[in-house]
Amino acid sequence: MKQRIDSHRRRVLQGVAGTAALGALPRFAFAQAAPVKIGLILPMTGPFASTGKQISAACKLYIERNGDTVAGRKVELIVKDDGGLQPETTKRIAQEMVVQDKVTILAGFGLTPLAFAAAPVATEAKVPMVVMAAGTQIIPQRSPFIVRTGFTLPQNTAPIATWAAKNKIKRVFSLVTDYAPGLDAEKAFQARFSSAGGTTVESVRTPLRNPDYAPFLQRAKDSKADALFVFVPSGEGLALMKQFEERGLKQAGMKLIGPGDVVDDDLLESMGAAAVGVITSMHYSAAHDSPENKAYVAAMMKANPGMRPNFHSVGGYDGMHLIYEAVKKQPNGSGEQLVEAMKGMKWVSPRGPMMIDPATRDVVQTVYLREVKMVNGQPWNIEFARFENVGPAG
C-alpha cells in the first residue's frame, strides 16, 4: 500500500513540478482516488474451465488495451475460481468479495445456477453484478443490480428455428442439457419452429454432470428426423460431436443445428472435420468479418497462444467496456448510479453492434447464422446471414 501511495505521489509531484512550487501544493493533491475493484468470479478449473480462461483473458486484454485507470481511479481485477459446479461456493466468494475486498462491482458468472446464487448478494450489498456468460433469460430479473453483456438462449435460438423452417427441415429431434438454459433453448426452438410449420418429433434432456450422449444420439438417428437440434453448454461440444460422428448421424443425412454453443470456437479446432456443415445461430464467431474483430482476435491470440477467442470471451471484454464507460459517467457513483449509467449504453463490440436494454438490463444485439467450413485447413463458423437488434426474448 505504502509503495502504491508513494508511486502515485511521485506521479502527482511530477505532474505539477513545472507549474507550482511544491510548498504551495494543496493537501488534497495527495489523496488517492479509491480504486475500481472488480471481483471476477469464474470457473477456472473443472469441466467449464474454458469459460473462466476465456473471460479472464479477455478482461485482462481490455485493461491492457485501455489502460489500468479510468476516471482517475485505478482498476483492480480480483479473479476467483468457483469451480463451476457449486452454487454455494459462488455465493460464498461473492459475499467475501463484498465484505472483505469491498469490491465496486461483481462480474463473471460462468453458469446459470451460479449467477442465481450470487444475485441476492448483489441486491443486499447494492453492488452491480455484470453477468458475462450465463445465458438463461430470467437472470436479470433475480436482482435489480444485474446487467448482462453475454447473450440469452432464446436470443441465440429463435433465429436457427426460423432458418430451419425455411430450409426444408420439417421434423426435428431435440436434445438439450437438463438445466435452465437448456430448457430456455428447447422452449424457444419449439415455439418458433412449430409456429413456422415444423414438428419436434422427440425431445430429450441430458444431465449437466457426466452426460453420456451415445444412447440419445442413437435414438435421434433411429427417429429419422431431418435435423438434430442441440443445446449443450460450452465445454461439452467436443464430446457431443464425437458421438454424432461415431454414431454416423451425419452420414445418415441428419443436419446438426442449434444455438452456437455446441461449436464453441474454443473447441472447434479440436472437433476438426466432424463439425463441418453444422449450422447454428449465435452472437459471436471468431471469424466475424469486421476491423474490430480482426484486431480483437489477433490481440487475444497473441496474448494467449493457441487459444482462439470464443463467445464467452466477448462477454468478458464487453463487460469491462461497460464498467469503464459507467465509471466515466459516474466517477464516484454508488452501485445504483453505476447500474443507471449502464442502462441504454450502446457500442460496437468485436461481435458487432450491441446495447443494454434499459428496461431489462439485458443485451440487445445482432445474431448471425453460421455454417462450419474449412478455411485454410481449419474449421471456422462462417457467418452467412444476420438478424439485427435481437432482444433477450429472441
Which residue ranges make up the site for ligand PHB (CB under 6 A)?
111-112, 134-136, 181, 233-234, 261
Q: How far is the CB of 230 from ligand PHB (least distance, A)?
A: 12
Go through 43-79 and write b for each residue having 16 or more CB atoms within 10 A of its CB, e for each that does not: bbebbbbbbbbbbbbbbbbbbeeeeeebeebebebeb
The number of angstroms, rounded, from the C-alpha of 374 to the middle of its chain's C-alpha atoms is: 25
DSSP state of 43: -
Q: Kind and range of the H or E element at 277? A: none
Closer to ligand PHB by CB, 234 or 366: give it: 234
- Shortest distance, position 217 Cβ to ligand PHB, whole Å: 19
315 vs 335, which CB is nearer to ligand PHB? 315
The smaller minimum CB distance to ligand PHB, of residues 37 and 142, is found at 142
Q: Cell for 277?
A: 456443415
Q: What angle do CA 255, 256, 260 make, to 5 degrees?
A: 145
Beta carbon of residue 246, minimum distance to ligand PHB (angstroms, whole number): 23
Distance of CA 44 to the CA centre of its chain: 15
Q: Which residue is nearest to ligand PHB (CB)?
A: 233
Shortest CB 66 distance to ligand PHB, Å: 26
Identify which of residues 116 and 380 has a Cβ nearer to ligand PHB in the complex: 116
Nearer to ligand PHB, 181 or 352 (CB): 181
Nearest CB to ligand PHB, comparing residues 153 and 338: 153
- Give the cell for residue 74: 485505478
- The Cα 113–Cα 101 span in angstroms is 23
| Residue 48 CB, nearest approach to ligand PHB (Å) | 7
In the complex, what is the shortest distance from the CB of residue 391 to ligand PHB, in angstroms, rounded to a whole number?
17
CA dihedral in degrees (223, 226, 232, 234; nearest 10)? 150
Smallest gap from Cβ 244 to ligand PHB, in A, equals 17
Burial of residue 306 (CB within 10 Å: 0-12, 13-18, 19+) is exposed
Is the Cβ of residue 104 or residue 152 nearer to ligand PHB in the bound state? 152
Q: Which class for 363: exposed (0-12), middle (13-18), buried (19 or more C-beta within 10 A)?
A: buried
